[in-house]
Amino acid sequence: MTQDRLVIATRGSALALWQANHVKDRLATVAPEMAVELLVIKTSGDLIQDIPLAKVGGKGLFVKEIEQALLDGNADLAVHSMKDVPPELAEGLSIAAVSKRETPWDALCAREPVTVETLPHGARIGTSSMRRQCQLLARRPDLKIEMLRGNVPTRIRKLDDGMYDAIVLAAAGLVRLGMADRITQELPLELSIPAVAQGVMGIETRSADVMVRQLAARAIHDERAHAAVTAERAFLAKMGGSCSTPLAAHTLDRPDGGIRLVGMCGMPDGSKILRAEYGGTIDQAALLGEKLAEDLIAQGAREILAATR
């Protein structure tokens, strides 16, 4: 960063660019004297489109080249969908701020107004997520899960071209891209627990760049979302899982100001799902995530994860 210039590293998908431009606009409100530029980076995850992420390194493939741009000094901050960010960041980098959470649920999209319950027997469902596959098959073992990759508009186009009877995406991405009208059902928590940190954007910076970190926090930081993400990512780290394993955790606000963390681990075919939940105060967020993981581990989660790797 120069005294009057910031560079944001981002992927080039429509959603990534929406998020990066949102952060750019927010930075302009807190530091109008700064010129903010985007540096578009094509990541390994963008280049590999014909193989499930779980087989080629998980969603960390969407961030490693962007993190290298930060480490090399070619960018000052990076904007991510936090659900794509692995529990462990590259040395010297950290998350400076997280956004308020957008609609966190998974969304069923179809050409007809159907729900998971009313899909035809044997319907073809597009998703590359083992987490979504696991929970869908637990409810509807007759469904045919088929791999779906690509950015949000590409996935919707594949649906419209008849490649699938329905697809499942994060509702947040559809909302941000103005495509919420394509949602035929937001999947409730009891049907599909969302991915860790789903619906939250994060700004990653070099840990030593105090001024950049302060600007990022002033631009978008939300404390409630931070507590939620802390709890969920602590769970993921303790489980030793990645964003591509059949794990889920989601934080809900309690009326008393505290939080409730629910989570699951399951077999990809939906034949076995372990669930647990814990509640506490927001300053106990990391502890709640660890306790949730310990509960599922005691129920046999490590054996499930070993079987799916």
The CATH class of the 5-99+200-221 domain is: alpha beta
Tell me, yes or no, if 84 is annotated catalytic: yes
Helix (H, G, I), strand (E, B) or coil at 161: coil
Distance CA 107, CA 204 (A): 27
Q: pLDDT-derived band of residue 196, with 50, 70 and 90 as boundaries?
A: very high
How high is the pLDDT of residue 306? Answer: 87
pLDDT per residue over 70-100, tens digit each? Answer: 999 999 999 999 999 999 999 999 999 999 9
Average pLDDT over residues 279-308: 95
**How does the average pLDDT of the chain come out, rounded?**
93
Environment class of 129 (CB within 10 Å of its CB; exposed 0-12, middle 13-18, buried 19+): buried
Helix (H, G, I), strand (E, B) or coil at 273: strand
pLDDT per residue over 222-276, tens digit each? Answer: 999 999 999 999 999 999 876 567 999 999 999 999 999 999 999 999 999 999 9
Average pLDDT over residues 203-218: 97
pLDDT per residue over 37-46, tens digit each? Answer: 999 998 765 5
Q: What is the pTM (predicted TM-score) of this model?
A: 0.92
Distance CA 274, CA 138 (A): 11
Domain limits, CATH 3.40.190.10, in the chain: 5-99+200-221, 106-186
How high is the pLDDT of residue 68? Answer: 95
Q: pLDDT-derived band of residue 54, with 50, 70 and 90 as boundaries?
A: low
Distance CA 241, CA 213 (A): 28
Q: Of all residues in the chain, what percent are helix, strand and coil, respectively (each to 5)?
A: 40, 25, 35
Instruction: Mark out the alpha helices in the chain (DSSP H runs).
Output: 14-30, 44-47, 64-71, 130-139, 152-160, 171-176, 210-220, 223-239, 285-299, 301-308
Q: Is the pLDDT of residue 181 over 60?
A: yes
Architecture of domain 106-186: 3-Layer(aba) Sandwich (3.40)
Domain limits, CATH 3.30.160.40, in the chain: 232-308
CA distances from residue 266 to 209, 272, 294 in whole angstroms, order as listed: 40, 5, 15
How high is the pLDDT of residue 47? Answer: 52
How high is the pLDDT of residue 45? Answer: 57
User: Among residues 98, 274, 82, 287, which one has the least CA distance to residue 193?
Assistant: 274
Of 4, 25, 50, 84, which residue is the catalytic one?
Answer: 84
pLDDT per residue over 120-179, tens digit each? Answer: 999 999 999 999 999 999 999 999 999 999 999 999 999 999 999 999 999 999 999 999
How high is the pLDDT of residue 308? Answer: 80
Q: Right CATH number for 232-308 from 3.30.160.40, 3.30.70.1350, 3.20.20.70, 2.60.40.1180?
A: 3.30.160.40
